[in-house]
Amino acid sequence: MSAAAKSSAPGAPPGRGALRRNLPPARRFLAGRKRVLVRLGGWSLLESAQTFLGGYCLARALDRGFLAGQTGTGLLWLAVAAASILGAGPPMRGVFTQLAELTEPLRDALVRRAVRQALRRAVTDPARTDDRADTGAVSRLTHQTEIVRDSFAGLVLTVRAFVFNAVGALIGLLALAPELLLVVLPPLVLGIGIFLATLLPMASAQRAFLDADEAVAEGVGAVSAGHRDLVACGAQADAAERTGRLIDTAERTSRVLARWAALRTVALGVAGQLPVLLLLVTTPWLLRQGVTTGALAGALTYLLQALLPALHSMMTALGAAGTRLLVVVDRFQDATAAPVPPKAPDPDPDPDPDVVVEAGNPRGRRPSRTAPAVEIRAVTHAYGPDSPPVLDHLHLTVRRGEHIAVVGPSGIGKSTLAGVVSGLVAPDHGTVLLGGEPVTGATAQDLADRRVLIPQQAYVFTGSVRDNLLHLRPDATSGELTYAIGVLGAEPLVDRLGGPDAVLDPRGLSHGERQLLALCRAYLSSAPLVLLDEATCHLDPAAEARAERAFAERAFTDGARARGGALIVVAHRLSSARRADRVLVLDGTTPRFGTHEELLTSSALYRDLFGHWQHTPPPAGG
């Protein structure tokens, strides 16, 4: 939801809140341009005169001319009407000149406001200045300012046209026969009243629809970006449920918007069509009251040529452009107050240090206590029937409690190997065992209980920090949460975000901060096997070393080793390979597996990578 929507007063409909926020600046803007408004009104009065003459001259041409046998008189009255039409050019030119004096200053003011907001956000939230920069500011500077200018100009034109056309038409009806007003005025006023009553609810419905539509786009985009994490964690059902709720909300708001649009159509029929129908139905009565045939023809001219088109244009503009204008202008309002995060319940007390809580494994499955943590038997995988295999008859055994690094050139199959081990990628041939149990045929929950995979693009969702960190293990205690944050060095980040119960906005995080939160989440997971697929590439070397040491110690604990715990790191720095117990070198032909010292002797590729890493400066931290 947009900031403007979030800043609405509690309990107030969005349309009314937006109206209250924008009325004061609108009054100030118009008050500073009184001369422009006066000149605009003066030119528009000439348009009222043209409307008046159109119906009045036709009535007189019939009553005093053609129907009275005075053809010359009738033609003279029609000539006056034609002259009024031909003379409409200069007034319209004056109207558009004054309109520009209103719309261009408004656009300039909005551009200045958008620039101020973007600069303020850049200063107060510098994390947004990376590749996730405030694209909303760009939209406000370009697309949305043009929407405001065009909508405002169309609104002024149509409302002005209706008001001054109505003035000319009503004066003409009064001049022709006051009885005509008794027939025309009540349905006209009723229809306009119904329409005006729908404006604020319509704005509320449109705002809710836009917010719901944006929420769907953001939610689907987040799920798309984090689909590997979701599948790896077995969280597809939760993500589908959240996305389904967003879609249901969008559908519900669209139905509400459609109902208000239907009511607006009814108002147009009452105000525009009903006066014509009543005029035809009451014609016998009007004739008995002395209303002439010419007056009736003039009344129909006023309704069909002036009032009905102007009314239709005004209702369409107010109902569509007006509500859109209110919503878009409201997005330019400064939202300087930070949202207050919801108060979370008191955290659980620290657990008994002598009691170890082990989540997961709901089916009572007991992995073998003697089988390796990971065993890969003759695995082959290619990304197409005619493509060379990325993994070719690969054998690999990872012992319990062992820390393994996987290295190799870009595109050689390191991430594919991580996908095969985690069960996300089914190999073409061969078998993968985790703790002695095959990966093939395991459910998503089974896999989530046995391994956790953190890819390079860490997934963080909107919610509290606590919700993000406990996503894989909601029953973790506050003591375990505090320990995980501390052992991975995430206290400064969590403190800056406002603590575990603070609301987290993923757009305000750098790539490194996202990775650090994802690492904390994985550390809290009950899965004994951890796979880090370049999951620390945006951290600085010190933070990366701390994270890998923490996970290596986690895998070496008695509880994790008994359940098949191990750490597999797809490495992108020499230091990661040096910290590992053993290193797997993928070269596309003959993989090599051994310690750092052994590989310097046995693998030419590893020696080349070692030399490259030594001469490559470390990337900046995230």
CA–CA distance, 519 with 567 (Å, rounded to integer): 13
Cβ neighbours of residue 483 under 8 Å, at least 6 residues apart?
none
Distances (CA, A) of 148 to 103, 106, 143, 341, 489: 9, 8, 9, 32, 47
For residue 356, the model assigns a pLDDT of 31
Cβ neighbours of residue 388 under 8 Å, at least 6 residues apart?
382
Is beta strand 592-594 parallel, antiparallel or unpaired with respect to 582-585? antiparallel
For residue 324, the model assigns a pLDDT of 63
Is beta strand 403-407 parallel, antiparallel or unpaired with respect to 451-454? unpaired
CB 117 within 8 A of CB 137: yes
Q: Alpha-carbon dihedral of residues 277, 280, 285, 291, nearest 10 degrees? A: 120
Strand partners, 406: 570, 584
Cβ neighbours of residue 445 under 8 Å, at least 6 residues apart?
234, 362
Q: What are the CB-based long-range contacts (under 8 Å, 24+) for 591-600? A: 591/394, 591/396, 593/396
- Amino acid letter, 478: S
Strand partners, 454: 532
For residue 574, the model assigns a pLDDT of 78
Is beta strand 463-464 parallel, antiparallel or unpaired with respect to 503-504? antiparallel
CA–CA distance, 114 with 102 (Å, rounded to integer): 19
- Which H or E run contains 453? strand 451-454
For residue 484, the model assigns a pLDDT of 93
Cβ neighbours of residue 131 under 8 Å, at least 6 residues apart?
none
CA–CA distance, 503 with 511 (Å, rounded to integer): 18
Of 453, 606, 472, 434, nearest in space to 533 by CA: 453
- 540, two tokens: 């600085």
For residue 8, the model assigns a pLDDT of 40
CA–CA distance, 158 with 591 (Å, rounded to integer): 75
Distances (CA, A) of 518 to 172, 242, 602: 74, 20, 36
CA–CA distance, 289 with 283 (Å, rounded to integer): 10
CB 184 within 8 A of CB 192: no
For residue 229, the model assigns a pLDDT of 63
For residue 292, the model assigns a pLDDT of 94
For residue 14, the model assigns a pLDDT of 44
Backbone angles phi, psi at 496, to 5 degrees: -65, -35
For residue 563, the model assigns a pLDDT of 67
Q: What is the largest CA-CA distance in the chain?
A: 120
For residue 481, the model assigns a pLDDT of 93
CB 574 within 8 A of CB 613: yes
CB 50 within 8 A of CB 169: no
pLDDT digits (tens, 9 = 90+) for 31-55: 888 888 888 888 888 888 888 999 9
CA–CA distance, 527 with 576 (Å, rounded to integer): 22
CB 478 within 8 A of CB 249: no
CB 472 within 8 A of CB 525: yes
Of 212, 308, 196, nearest in space to 256 by CA: 212
For residue 239, the model assigns a pLDDT of 82
For residue 366, the model assigns a pLDDT of 46
Of 11, 21, 16, nearest in space to 336 by CA: 21
Other beta carbons less than 10 A from residue 205's beta carbon: 24
pLDDT digits (tens, 9 = 90+) for 486-540: 999 999 999 999 999 999 888 889 999 999 999 999 999 988 899 999 888 889 9
For residue 143, the model assigns a pLDDT of 62
Helix ranges, 226-292 (H): 227-232, 236-268, 274-281, 283-288
Distances (CA, A) of 107 to 141, 149, 382, 403: 9, 6, 57, 61
Cite the beta strand spans of 267-390 per DSSP E.
374-381
Q: What are the CB-based long-range contacts (under 8 Å, 24+) for 71-75? A: none
Of 108, 125, 196, nearest in space to 507 by CA: 125
**Which parts of the chain register pLDDT below 70?**
1-22, 114, 117-118, 120-144, 226, 228-234, 319-369, 558-564, 612-622
- Tell me which residue has tokens 């077995």: 234
